[in-house]
Amino acid sequence: MKSFICVVLFVSAVWTQTSTVPPSSVADVGGLLARDPIFVYNNWSAYDELSDNIPLTERLTMKELDEILRLRQFGARFDYYTIDAFWFDPDGGYRTWRKPNWPNGPDAWIRRCRDNGILPGLWFSTNTLVKINAAPQWRDSLTESKGAMSFFEGGFLPDFMRTLQYWYDRGIRLYKFDFVDFGASTPSAAKMKSPEEIRALNENAFREALRNFRQRNPDAVLVAFNGFGGDVESTAGPFPFQHPVDLRWLEVFDSLYSGDPRPSDVPEMNFWRSVDIYSDHMVRRYEQSFLPLERIDSTGFMLGNTGTIYYRKTQAWKGALILMMARGGWVNTVYGNLEFLTDADARWFAKVQSLYLALQAKGRTKTFGGIPGDVQPYGFGSLDADGAVYVAMNPGQSITQIRLPQLSKEQIGISSGRIMFRDAGFEPVLTDDTIALGPGQMAVVGFGKYAEKQYDFGVQEDVRIPRVIAPIAAKFSPNGTNSIRAEVIAPVKGGLRIIMQQHSAKEGSIMRSWKGGPPKGTNMGEVFVLSVSQNGRTLPIEINYDKVIWSGLSWAVGEVRQNQFRPGAAVTIQCLSSDREPVSLTGTVYVIEY
């Protein structure tokens, strides 16, 4: 294990040392393309046309530009503004904009962005036909199903690259590539070539086209999303990835993303903390696949009142912002409704940015601890010559200590640490280089210069951590189809926390239930049902997972407050999954005090 960590750190160090190499001369895998960390605004999750029915319009787009300019007044930095999916006319081959949502096209938006020092960006579904029809010049590249185009056959790729250049010439500087399909081929090629040959031909053709595009346009930023490697559906999946990441993509892309925000398979009372853990886990897995942290876009910060972000609005946004930056990626993307951030929020946002953008630029962010999806305490540490900043996380259901490893001999005295930020409730205890965290808790610790009060980020009040937690012996037994039941004695002091996890009855592995997104998806509070009763009376139970979750869920957590039951008397707990497939359920019970 130690030798593996050394390899990862060496790869990161090599990438950092090449930071002065111009983009046009990058030859080595992992060589730096961008010269500095960047901050990108993306308007997805302010609208959502996949797991919701909120449309993209010019009005919405310009409104969010106004919000960018408002946040900048308070010191926030935004370098790029990317319009995400479905801006295009379905019959326009990515050359024309959708009407009536964009009656005059994008010129006013492009001009206003550039007049304010912001570089525009656009989303493309690459070679798949997602809400777009095949242009005539693409048709000799179509697959038999007519759903995607081959890169190495016909007219699609040459026309697509001409389109990218067309938008570059009109001012676009960031390109987001999504939903790529490297298995696409024409029917004739499918008969003559193996799937492996088709994939290699597609990848090589597209990579070479992007390489040529970068050489012509060295200031363009290219970011890769779905389809470029990795398994992002679950944090319980096996590793290495079933779909490995080809490191040659680092030759042409500034970053590869590691999955849209979704709940992890780690149960947490605070739903948003489980979402944080998902992004942390995926960054660690991509790092284990030898991607430098600087090149991983965790896509972990989304605000909004749409289905894609489970109607989050701004819940637990402060921890999400810190984590996105603490992970060390150089493409920092903020998604969604910026109007949900107040002026005071904007000042706090800018304060976090000013700290972490400087630390990111050093390229000296390291991971430590265990794997998030394995429910092991972990964290991210960044340093410079003046000190170090650590973000530590405890994903488990106990009060746990984690050591903050000294990152280098340049780190200022280890005894000078100070907690800079934490969740509400349990107060972390910092002793020299070790911190004790409550269940599901996050904290930020500064050493040296960063232990000064000017770096105090306060308390995240909308994530509350129990001050006391202890397991209760509870024997769960089957109670009908996909249901388990247990009886415990109600505690004299404290409330109850109940956790249910779902596994496949056939394979025994953690299993998610997928019940769709808005507007027709089923609320997971109806799929996973926790009930608690005492003396025949049903007790109120507080849950936080009662959302329409397009990405699926494998767990349920609920709490019963102490004033809802009679201490010392028996309490009956039932956990139910309404999934149609046979499942195996496990349950655990804890006594908690806030």
DSSP 22: -
- 42-78 b/e (C-beta count within 10 Å ≥ 16 → b): bbbbbbbbbbbebebebebbeebbebbeebbebebbb
* 79-121 confidence digits (pLDDT tens): 999 999 999 999 999 999 999 999 999 999 999 999 999 999 9
* 301-342 confidence digits (pLDDT tens): 999 999 999 999 999 999 999 999 999 999 999 999 999 999
Residue type, 314: T
H/E element, 252: none
45-49, 209-213, 219-223, 504-508: the lowest-pLDDT one: 504-508
Percent of the chain residues past pLDDT 70, beyond the cut: 93
> What average pLDDT does range 48-60 have in this prediction?
96
Phi, psi of 141 (to 5 degrees): -110, 0
1-5, 180-184, 459-463, 585-589: the lowest-pLDDT one: 1-5
Angle 532-537-539 (CA atoms, 0-180°, nearest 5)?
40
Answer yes or no: are the C-beta atoms of 301 and 253 closer than 8 Å. Answer: no
Cα 556 from Cα 544, distance rounded (Å): 9
Where does the pLDDT of residue 35 fall: very low under 50, low under 70, confident under 90, or very high at 90 and above?
A: confident
Q: Give the three-class secondary structure for 76.
A: coil
* 68-89 confidence digits (pLDDT tens): 999 999 999 999 999 999 999 9
Q: Give the three-class secondary structure for 90.
A: coil
- 392 in the Ramachandran plot: left (φ > 0), alpha (ψ -120 to 50) or beta? beta
- 381-401 b/e (C-beta count within 10 Å ≥ 16 → b): bbbbeebbbbbbbbbbbebbe
> What average pLDDT does range 162-186 have in this prediction?
98
Q: Which two tokens stand for residue 398?
A: 């106990």
Question: Where does 511-590 have alpha helices with state H?
Answer: 524-527
User: What is residue 3's predicted lDDT score, i.e. its pLDDT?
Assistant: 37
The CB density around residue 569, as the number of other CB atoms within 10 Å, is 10
* 235-266 confidence digits (pLDDT tens): 999 999 999 999 999 999 999 999 999 999 99
Answer yes or no: are the C-beta atoms of 445 and 434 closer than 8 Å. Answer: no
201-210, 371-380, 403-412: the lowest-pLDDT one: 403-412
Cα 267 from Cα 460, distance rounded (Å): 20
User: What is residue 408's predicted lDDT score, i.e. its pLDDT?
Assistant: 60
* 434-477 confidence digits (pLDDT tens): 999 999 999 999 999 999 999 999 999 999 999 999 999 999 99
Burial of 563 per CB tally in 10 Å (0-12, 13-18, 19+): exposed
User: What is residue 409's predicted lDDT score, i.e. its pLDDT?
Assistant: 58
Where does the pLDDT of residue 592 fall: very low under 50, low under 70, confident under 90, or very high at 90 and above?
A: very high
The set of residues, in sequence order, having a beta carbon less than 8 Å from that of 244 and lying 6+ positions away, is: 229, 289
The set of residues, in sequence order, having a beta carbon less than 8 Å from that of 287 and lying 6+ positions away, is: 8, 293, 296, 367
Cα 486 from Cα 289, distance rounded (Å): 42
> What average pLDDT does range 174-178 have in this prediction?
98
* 3-28 confidence digits (pLDDT tens): 333 333 333 333 332 233 333 344 45
User: What is residue 394's predicted lDDT score, i.e. its pLDDT?
Assistant: 98
Query: CA distances (Å), 326 to each of 319, 377, 412, 435, 464, in order?
Result: 10, 16, 19, 18, 21
Instruction: Tell how strand 555-560 and strand 542-543 pair up.
Output: antiparallel
Burial of 304 per CB tally in 10 Å (0-12, 13-18, 19+): buried
> What average pLDDT does range 207-212 have in this prediction?
98
220-224, 383-387, 407-411: the lowest-pLDDT one: 407-411
Whether pLDDT at 154 is above 90: yes
Question: Whole-number mean pLDDT of the chain?
Answer: 93
What are the structural domains, with CATH classification, of the chain?
Answer: 2-363 (3.20.20.70), 369-465 (2.60.40.1180), 470-593 (2.60.120)
Compute the Cα dihedral for 296, 298, 299, 302 and give only its sign. Answer: negative
Cα 174 from Cα 41, distance rounded (Å): 11
Whether pLDDT at 429 is above 80: yes
Start-to-end C-alpha separation, the chain? 38
The CB density around residue 173, as the number of other CB atoms within 10 Å, is 20
* 532-586 confidence digits (pLDDT tens): 999 999 999 999 999 999 999 999 999 999 999 999 999 999 999 999 999 999 9
The CB density around residue 108, as the number of other CB atoms within 10 Å, is 14
Instruction: Tell how strand 221-224 and strand 174-177 pair up.
Output: parallel
Question: Where does 176-263 have alpha helices with state H?
Answer: 187-192, 195-216
Alpha carbon 423 to chain centroid, angstroms: 20
* 123-133 confidence digits (pLDDT tens): 999 999 999 99
Q: Which two tokens stand for residue 188?
A: 């004739």
